[in-house]
Amino acid sequence: MHILSTIIEALPYILEGTLVTLLLVAGALSVGFCLGVPMAVTQVYAPKPFSRLVSFYVWFFRGVPVLLLLFLFYYGLFGLMGIDVGTVGASCLVLGMTSAAYQSQIFRGAILSLPTGQLKAGRALGFTDLQSIRTIILPQALRLSIPGWSNEYSILLKDSAMCFALGTPEIMARTHFVASRTYEHLPLYITAGLIYFLITLAGVTMLRRLEQKVRIPGYNTAGM
């Protein structure tokens, strides 16, 4: 009984953290998307020096632990650059920049999987390359990217728990805070785990719905 009342007492506090977590994930996915799409396009279509630059970015962000990146930017680089966006802002940006590295590779793979004739057909009709990419390539590539993107969502959601280390008041940080006061570690962490589990499930389900909704009639994406 005591356990239950601890959980009920802590729940509003942890749920508030859930909102912060959702904000982190939404923000990071958006940052990652807005950077990832142009990065993928650059890698596939831009001249060597530019695509090299993107490859370097991807190599860096994929090669270093997220936790280290959080510390590196929050305690180091952001300070040097005079950027003060608070713990939530910093977490969003760092997770977003990391996600951009992964998302760009999802989009790049999708772009490369399209038949080259699509771009050719656009060019032959008088489209500029940028127009073709915007109206022909990306609408198809983004559809193909949804399963990979859904994967990225669920990874990012769980990576967001590391922002706890900066003191970002998200699910993990708040659960840890309550647990260290009440010593009810087991039930509290199980509760937090359930919350993560439910958000993952909800997000992945929504993305699967989206995939069905934008599906091209008759187009076979099996095996993607």
Partner 1 sequence: MNARPNDTPILRAEHFTKYLSGRKILDDCSISIYPGDVKVLIGPSGAGKSTFLQCINCLLEPDEGEIWLGDRKVDVRNTRELCELRQHVGMIFQDFNLFDHLSAEDNVALAPRKVRGMNKQEALKRAHAELRRVGLEDKARLYPAELSGGQKQRVAIARALAMDPTVLLLDEPTSALDPELVGEVLTVIRDLASHGMPMIMVTHQMEFAQAVATEILFMEQGRVIEQGSPDELLAPGSQTRTQDFCVRLHDLCGGEAAAQE
Rounded to the nearest whole angstrom, what is the least distance from the CB of residue 113 to partner 1 in the complex? 12
Count residues contacting partner 1 (CB under 8 A)?
Answer: 23
Rounded to the nearest whole angstrom, what is the least distance from the CB of residue 207 to partner 1 in the complex? 18
Rounded to the nearest whole angstrom, what is the least distance from the CB of residue 107 to partner 1 in the complex? 15
Among 76, 79, 86, 139, binds partner 1 (CB under 8 A): 139
Sign of dihedral through CA atoms 169, 171, 175, 178?
positive
In 190-216, which positions are buried (b, 16+ CB within 10 angstroms) versus exposed (e)? ebbeebbeebbeebbeebeeebeeeee
Distance of alpha carbon 194 from alpha carbon 200, whole angstroms: 10
Among 1, 63, 219, 223, binds partner 1 (CB under 8 A): 219
Count the Cβ atoms, other than its own, within 10 Å of residue 12. 9
Among 26, 112, 125, 206, binds partner 1 (CB under 8 A): 125
Among 3, 124, 190, 194, binds partner 1 (CB under 8 A): 124
142-161 binders of partner 1 (CB under 8 A): 143
Rounded to the nearest whole angstrom, what is the least distance from the CB of residue 220 to partner 1 in the complex? 7
Between 142 and 165, name the residue whose CB sits nearer to partner 1. Answer: 142
Rounded to the nearest whole angstrom, what is the least distance from the CB of residue 147 to partner 1 in the complex? 17
Gyration radius (Cα) of the chain, Å: 21
The one segment of 13-21, 55-63, 127-135, 177-185 that binds partner 1 by CB under 8 A: 127-135
Write 160-163 long-range contacts (CB < 8 A, 24+): 160/21, 160/24, 160/25, 160/28, 160/91, 160/95, 161/196, 162/66, 162/67, 162/70, 163/24, 163/70, 163/87, 163/91, 163/95
Interacting residues of 62 by C-beta distance below 8 A, sequence separation 6+: 101, 102
Q: Is residue 127 near partner 1 by the rule CB under 8 A?
A: yes
Q: Is residue 121 near partner 1 by the rule CB under 8 A?
A: yes
- The CB-side HSE value for 124 (13 A sphere, CA atoms) comes to 6
Between 212 and 220, name the residue whose CB sits nearer to partner 1. Answer: 220
Between 76 and 139, name the residue whose CB sits nearer to partner 1. Answer: 139
Between 70 and 136, name the residue whose CB sits nearer to partner 1. Answer: 136
Q: What does the binding site for partner 1 look like in residue numbers (CB under 8 A)? A: 115, 117-118, 120-128, 131, 135-136, 139-140, 143, 216-220
